């Protein structure tokens, strides 16, 4: 005698809901439309037969007492098993219910993606920017209806307005009724007798349009701005999709961006670095003084607080960080060389200056120590 509980993969005390869930799972995996082949078809028959017995209280009681309604055969489905049971297991309802009916011509439009090039200053402060896109808009002649104004539609003669065709086919399950969209009206149930000349019945046309978008402060390359309802209008005058604007920030001649900080390099003469000075730096907030202290070395930085990029989420701004680069003079004339030699004598630096330090005090030494620690 067949072990129907093993065929469904459930315990002998499984509840009716457990049996239905197990069959639904097995049937999806083994359905011939998903996994064609004689072996899978035979396994599907076994699973369906097990469900037929175990889902019926009387048959299950008889089976548990040692009686097999099929006598151990796998040849077909019992009198109490119908195709509606399969539909009930798959969709939770009977197969004999009403069809879906004609579908609407109006469908949601597709989302769009465009790129917006911005200057760094626009990314810092945000603002408004014009944007031109080519997209689908509502047809101005038929206003999305698809039919030439003054004409109408007629009911499809093939499906009588249902939008679908039913066919009866024979299979190993017996006679099975299937439903498919009507090819004559594409499932709409109606036929446009005179399509609109402007949109050819689609209800929309391609058009270039210009809009002004609001760019939030703090955007960076790769940031996407969502504009709800600004995408393509759907077929049949359906609601528009969304438009996504991807930002690309152009390089700046002075500042480079790292996060919300702006970095710039200030080249200063050796004399200015030694004696100290003040240099005016043109920022996005106007001119700001940068104090070069006495004895400034190359690689030192000065920070101008709150003059960087606006934080995209939250208040405040990043900083402007100025990197010092001390420039050694070239092409000295004899007088200038003499003055530098006098300075070297005064500082006791007549011989070539330089100081050798242990390697572990430099960058490579720190990297070496870091790897030693692992």
Per-residue pLDDT tens digits for 233-260: 999 989 999 999 999 999 999 999 999 9
Inside any domain, residue 178: no
Is the confidence at residue 152, as pLDDT, over 70? yes
pLDDT at residue number 63: 80
Q: What is the 3-state secondary structure (H, E, C) of 253-280?
A: CCCEEECCEEEEEEEEEHHHHHHCEEEE
Rg (CA), the chain: 39
Per-residue pLDDT tens digits for 305-343: 999 999 998 789 999 999 999 999 989 999 999 999 898
* Residues 309, 261 contacting (CB under 8 angstroms): yes
Of the residues 36, 67, 91, the one at which a domain ends: 91
Domain ranges, residue 363: 256-367
Inside any domain, residue 269: yes
Mean pLDDT, the chain, rounded, equals: 83
Inside any domain, residue 87: yes
Inside any domain, residue 166: no
pLDDT at residue number 2: 78
CATH at 314: 2.60.260.20
pLDDT at residue number 347: 84
Pairing type for strands 204-215 and 127-138 reads antiparallel
Inside any domain, residue 273: yes
Confidence band of 97 (pLDDT split at 50, 70, 90): very low
Neighbours of 34 (CB within 10 A): 11
Confidence band of 72 (pLDDT split at 50, 70, 90): very low
Per-residue pLDDT tens digits for 203-237: 999 999 999 999 999 999 999 999 999 999 999 98
Helix (H, G, I), strand (E, B) or coil at 25: helix
Is the confidence at residue 182, as pLDDT, over 80? yes
Q: Which of 121-130, 147-156, 177-186 has the lowest mean pLDDT?
A: 177-186
The tally of domains found in the chain comes to 2
167-179 average pLDDT score? 69
CATH at 43: 1.10.287.110
Residue 280 backbone dihedrals phi, psi, to 5 degrees: -85, 125
Confidence band of 142 (pLDDT split at 50, 70, 90): very high
Residue 126 backbone dihedrals phi, psi, to 5 degrees: 75, -170
Is the confidence at residue 80, as pLDDT, over 50? no
The torsion angle over the Cα atoms of residues 56, 58, 59 and 63, rounded to 10 degrees, is: 130
How far is the C-alpha of 125 from the C-alpha of 306, rounded, in Å? 13
Beta bridge pairs of residue 175: 170
Pairing type for strands 301-304 and 320-327 reads antiparallel
pLDDT at residue number 60: 84
Inside any domain, residue 149: no
Inside any domain, residue 235: no
Residues in the chain, overall count: 374
Is the confidence at residue 118, as pLDDT, over 60? yes
Higher pLDDT pick, 261 / 40: 261
Of the residues 29, 60, 91, the one at which a domain ends: 91
97-101 average pLDDT score? 53
Of the residues 62, 91, 120, the one at which a domain ends: 91
Inside any domain, residue 45: yes
């Amino acid at each position: 005698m067949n072990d129907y509980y093993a065929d469904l993969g459930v315990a002998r005390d499984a509840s009716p809901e457990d049996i239905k869930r197990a069959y639904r799972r097995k049937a999806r995996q083994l359905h011939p439309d998903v996994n064609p082949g004689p072996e899978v078809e035979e396994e599907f028959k076994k699973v369906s037969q097990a469900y037929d017995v175990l889902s019926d209280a009387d048959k299950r009681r008889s089976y548990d007492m040692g009686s097999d309604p099929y006598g151990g055969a796998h040849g077909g489905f019992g009198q109490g098993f119908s195709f509606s049971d399969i539909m009930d297991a798959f969709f939770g309802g009977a197969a004999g219910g009403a069809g879906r009916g004609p579908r609407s011509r109006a469908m949601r439009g597709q989302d769009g993606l465009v790129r917006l090039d911005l200057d760094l200053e626009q990314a810092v402060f945000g603002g408004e920017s014009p944007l031109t896109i080519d997209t689908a808009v509502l047809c101005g002649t038929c206003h999305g209806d698809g039919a030439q104004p003054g004409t109408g539609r007629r009911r499809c003669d093939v499906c009588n307005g249902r939008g679908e065709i039913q066919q009866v086919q024979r299979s190993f399950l017996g006679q099975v009724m299937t439903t498919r969209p009507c090819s004559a009206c594409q499932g709409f149930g109606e036929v446009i007798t005179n399509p609109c000349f402007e949109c050819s019945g689609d209800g929309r046309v391609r058009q270039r349009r210009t809009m002004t978008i609001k760019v939030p402060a703090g955007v960076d390359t790769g940031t996407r701005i969502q504009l709800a309802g600004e995408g393509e209008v759907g077929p049949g005058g359906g609601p528009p999709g969304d438009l996504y604007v991807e930002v690309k920030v152009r390089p700046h001649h002075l500042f480079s961006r790292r996060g919300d900080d702006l970095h710039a390099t200030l080249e200063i003469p050796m004399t200015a670095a030694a004696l100290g000075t003040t240099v005016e730096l043109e920022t996005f907030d106007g001119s700001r003084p940068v104090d070069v202290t006495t004895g400034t070395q190359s690689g030192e930085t000065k920070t101008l607080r709150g003059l960087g990029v606006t934080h995209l989420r939250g208040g405040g701004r990043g900083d402007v960080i100025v990197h010092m680069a001390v420039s050694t003079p070239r092409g000295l004339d004899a007088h200038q060389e003499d003055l530098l030699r006098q300075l070297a004598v005064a500082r006791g630096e007549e011989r070539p200056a330089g100081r050798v330090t242990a390697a572990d005090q430099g960058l490579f030494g720190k990297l070496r120590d870091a790897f030693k620690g692992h």
